[in-house]
Amino acid sequence: MMSPRPSSPPPAAPETVSERVIIRTVGMQKIYHRGTETIYALRSVDVEIYTGEFITVMGPSGSGKSTFFNMIGALDSPSRGRVFIDEVDVAQLTAEELAFLRCRKIGYIFQSYNLIQYMTALENVTTPMAFGGVSGDEARKRGMALLDLVGLKDRWFHRPIEMSGGQQQRVAIARSLANEPGILLCDEPTANLDHQTGDEILAILQRLNKERGVTTICATHDHRMMNICDRLMWIRDGGIERIARRDEVEVEVGHIE
């Protein structure tokens, strides 16, 4: 399945990253019915996200940002329109295939870390591997390597409750990489952390993006994210307000300041 290249150049196409599309939405809509009222969480969103890019999604709460995230993360299906992840139409997948997709293709990082409380750091990291069919020594070896990558090799036996927020988020990042996903979906990864710890997490995310070429999509209010991303996306009232490359934005920010 090869993606049909768009005839006209996409808006604000990145310059430095490879131009293969990894997530594409076509007329994506999400409509909720509450009684007789119809709520448009998303109104016809068309967007393309390229392999290996670091994209930041910004928007006030209630803007449809979370809904957008759920759609492109294969956690929810659109009411109308389509979502292609790696050219696979998510709506066509069965529950088992969706689990397969979530397990191997996408890594999720949550605002409140969402580590499994009763598992050690290593067990948390190896759980997605077990779901993917890898277990035993192989999983442990890979898990330790990932913990080493986020600098927590020595704390593999600690439970989440014994770790600081930054450490928990680092374990969560290691877990999200368990099955070497192509996409990393981060929902406000630094919102619960202090300034310095947030910097550390951002540094790890940037490093992963640069060294491993993982497509990273970050929803955030954190302006530091602007310094490390390739593109920025603003969502407002269920639609994309604007997409811009970082260099374009930096000028504006400078201008405002």
Partner 1 sequence: MKPIDVQNQPVLPPRRVLQIALTGVKYRLFRSLVTVAVIVVAMAFLMNILTESLIKRAVAASVRDQIASLHRVDRWIARLSMARPYEEILARLAAEPPDPDDLRELARLGGCDDAAMIPLRRQAAEAHRILQFFATLDYGRRRVLVGPAEAVGIFDRLQDERAWAQFTAGLADMKTLRFPVSQEEFQAFLADWGVLRQQLDEIRQGQTAAIASIRSHLGQTPLVTALRNADGPFGDVLRAAGFMLSPEEASGLAVEVARLEHVLRIEGTINNPGVRQEVAALRDVLPGDVTMQMIWTLLRRQERAAWFLEIMRANHMDTGDLQAETLTGLARHQAHARLLAVAEQQTQDAGGGLLGIGMRMTWLALVSMLVCAVGIANAMLMSVTERFREIATLKCLGALDAFIMAMFLIEAALLGLAGGLGGAVAGFLLAGARMAVTFRTLLAQAFPWGDVAAAGAISIALGMVLAAVSAVYPSLRAARLAPMEAMRIE
- Number of shown-chain residues binding partner 1 (CB under 8 A): 47
Instruction: Find the binder of partner 1 among 50, 54, 68, 108 (CB under 8 A).
Output: 108
Identify which range of 26-34, 39-47, 111-119, 222-230 contacts partner 1 by CB under 8 A.
111-119
Q: Which is nearer to partner 1, 46 or 76 (CB)?
A: 76
Structure tokens at 189: 């990864």
Identify which range of 32-40, 106-114, 231-239, 247-255 contacts partner 1 by CB under 8 A.
106-114
For residues 112 to 151, the per-residue mask of contacts with partner 1, x marking binding by CB under 8 A and - elsewhere, is x-x-xxxx---x---xx-xxxx-x----------------
Give me the residues paired with residue 37 across strands.
Answer: 34
Instruction: Find the binder of partner 1 among 25, 70, 167, 190 (CB under 8 A).
Output: 70
Instruction: Find the binder of partner 1 among 43, 82, 104, 236 (CB under 8 A).
Output: 104
The residues, any chain, with a CB within 8 Å of residue 4's CB and separated by 6 or more, are none
Least distance in angstroms from the C-beta of 75 to partner 1 = 4
Identify which range of 8-16, 105-113, 149-157, 195-203 contacts partner 1 by CB under 8 A.
105-113
The sheet carrying 21-34 orders its strands as: 37-50, 21-34, 80-85, 88-89
DSSP assignments along the chain, one per residue: -PPPPPSSPPTT--SSS---EEEEEEEEEEEEEETTEEEEEEEEEEEEEETT-EEEEE--TTSSHHHHHHHHTTSS--SEEEEEETTEEGGG--HHHHHHHHHHTEEEE-TT----TTS-HHHHHHHHHHHTT--THHHHHHHHHHHHHTT-GGGTT--GGGS-HHHHHHHHHHHHTTT--SEEEEESTTTTS-HHHHHHHHHHHHHHHHHH--EEEEE---TTHHHH-SEEEEEETTEEEEEEEHHHHHHHHHHH-
Least distance in angstroms from the C-beta of 115 to partner 1 = 8
Task: Show contacts with partner 1 in window 209-228 (CB under 8 A).
Answer: 213
Q: Which is nearer to partner 1, 97 or 148 (CB)?
A: 97
Task: Show contacts with partner 1 in window 149-178 (CB under 8 A).
Answer: 175, 178
At 63, the amino acid letter reads S
Task: Show contacts with partner 1 in window 75-94 (CB under 8 A).
Answer: 75-76, 86-88, 93-94
Distance CA 106, CA 64 (A): 20
Least distance in angstroms from the C-beta of 174 to partner 1 = 12
Least distance in angstroms from the C-beta of 130 to partner 1 = 6
Residues that bind partner 1 (CB under 8 A): 1, 20, 51, 66, 69-70, 73, 75-76, 86-88, 93-97, 99-105, 108, 110-112, 114, 116-119, 123, 127-128, 130-133, 135, 175, 178-179, 182, 187, 213
